[in-house]
Chains A and B, each alone.
Chain A
């Protein structure tokens, strides 16, 4: 479904991604783990069209998207819940969600979509008229995921959904991610520092080190991999 081939992305002279190739098949949950600064978010922003790769191709459903504008990539069916959530703090929860459905032409019915998001994350329903900035970290994360879902994506890119969130809410969010994949049939590409959770959830996974993919395999294989256990899983991970 998504085929990232030999991507090289630069920030000025600094190379953030080195020859990265990753494949995500329809219906899968694929996780990408790696330390801070490994290039995980850069990769997602490259897929979404914010960063343009200097070399390499990205193919989504048979179409080259590496030169496409971000808003057009959303229309093709890829939406993202970015690192740090980036909620519109001055807009209400409901307005944030409505923004997610901006890609439809006039006359679409987003009320039903919002209802589905509220079923997935009931707490958002109680906060409907509150400003986004007043929500807790976990609630903001739910809102960010819900907002990305409003575009009715075929593929959802999730960047660090567990970052800075209470452990209890992290579990709730990972359950929701699984639901989105299984019930809404949305393919998921997950980027995480919380390696254990990400690998448990994933069908397949990749490890990114200094902008390079070093290890790949099924989630279970990687959980048992000694190198990964040493580097990412022991000591709290």
Chain B
């Protein structure tokens, strides 16, 4: 039981990272119907900006909470610029082209970003010391002590806060309404005076900033990154988005959580070598029974 609780805590933490990345996949798919395969690398860029900022701020004597806040804001800002630029350079010129074109462009962008970071930052792994330390211990009398680190609490709380803010943005604000309108019918949205291009840009900016937060968490949690981390994390988050129902925002959060839990539970109880196989197998089985994902709805158009 204690062991299970420990895995649960670890799984939710990992799921937070996947969920935050998955939102970017699902939002972009919702609005322009394309899988942004460069999104995993945007997450990697976010992680690099975070690690560089941590190193710079580490030289100063600013208090830790402020460092965290600054790093968060800086990596969100810079990563958002990357996301925005990728959209303008690689996807916007292809809008109205055949469906596969932006997809191929996205794969190309993914390679470009990886190689860019490899050249600019070197191929060796980058590491930092743990920044948020400290932990709570539960069930101290039993043979298995459940550890919940401050970092895990920080990550889950930050994810919850971001998800709440994001949900508010999508459901209650003008921007969110415009976004949902563009998802359904871009021509009609423009007939109502909505600037569709700008709405799409904002989608990329929001998705990239959330991915950068995931990148910063990755840095804090694992302490080691390289230019290639975006690939597997991106594929996992994409799996999470599809599992939850691509295009559905609550689905992306749920999917991230499930993938995180499966991976950790599988590692904890069976074997950590096959954790990726487990995550992808669950996707396949789910899609057999729910072809549109857990929370995705089949498209029924009333004409």
Contact = CB atoms under 8 A, between A and B. Distances in A.
A99 B192 contact: yes
B177 interface: yes
B248 to A, nearest CB: 11
Interface in B154-200: 174, 177-178, 180-181, 184-185, 187-196
A80 B181 contact: no
B119 interface: no
Interface stretch (A17-25, A29-37, A86-94, A194-202): A86-94
A100 B188 CA distance: 10
A79 B178 contact: no
A177 interface: no
A82 B302 contact: no
A133 interface: yes
A74 B192 contact: yes
A70 B196 CA distance: 10
B1 interface: no
Contact of B193 (A86, A90, A102): A102
Given A89-B302, A103-B193, A50 B180 contact: no
Determine the interface band of chain B, counting residues with CB < 8 A from chain A.
20 to 34
Interface in B25-74: none
A148 B192 CA distance: 7
Contacts of B174: 98, 102
A88 B191 contact: no
Interface in B285-303: 301-303
A91 B177 contact: yes
A33 B187 CA distance: 24
A88 B180 contact: yes
B174 to A, nearest CB: 6
A48 B190 CA distance: 9
B15 to A, nearest CB: 27
Given A91-B180, A99-B181, A102-B174, A79 B194 contact: no
Contacts of A82: 188, 191
Given A90-B180, A99-B178, A133-B302, A50 B185 contact: no
B192 A79 contact: yes
B191 A70 contact: yes
A103 to B, nearest CB: 3
Contacts of B192: 74, 79, 99-100, 102-103, 147-148, 151
Interface in A51-89: 69-71, 74-75, 79-80, 82, 84, 86, 88-89
B190 A98 contact: no
Contacts of B184: 88-91
A86 B177 contact: no
Contacts of A48: 191
Nearest to A87: B188
B302 A98 contact: no
B193 A98 contact: no
A98 B177 contact: yes
Q: Looking at B177, B190, B191, B302, which has the most chain A CB atoms within 10 Å of its CB?
A: B191
A82 B186 CA distance: 13
Contacts of A100: 192
Nearest to B183: A90
Interface string A9-28: 00000000000000000000
A127 to B, nearest CB: 16
B177 A71 contact: no
A74 B181 contact: no
Interface string A89-128: 1110001001110110000000000000000000000000
Contacts of A148: 192
A103 B194 CA distance: 7
B28 to A, nearest CB: 18
Contacts of A79: 191-193
Contacts of A102: 174, 177-178, 192-194
A190 B190 CA distance: 20
A58 B131 CA distance: 63
B181 A91 contact: yes
A80 B185 CA distance: 14
Nearest to A70: B190
B175 to A, nearest CB: 10
Contacts of B189: 99
Given A95-B177, A99-B178, A133-B302, A88 B188 contact: yes
A175 B81 CA distance: 51
A159 to B, nearest CB: 10
8 contacts: A49-B190, A50-B187, A86-B188, A88-B180, A90-B180, A95-B177, A100-B192, A102-B192
Interface of A: 48-50, 69-71, 74-75, 79-80, 82, 84, 86, 88-91, 95, 98-100, 102-103, 133, 147-148, 151
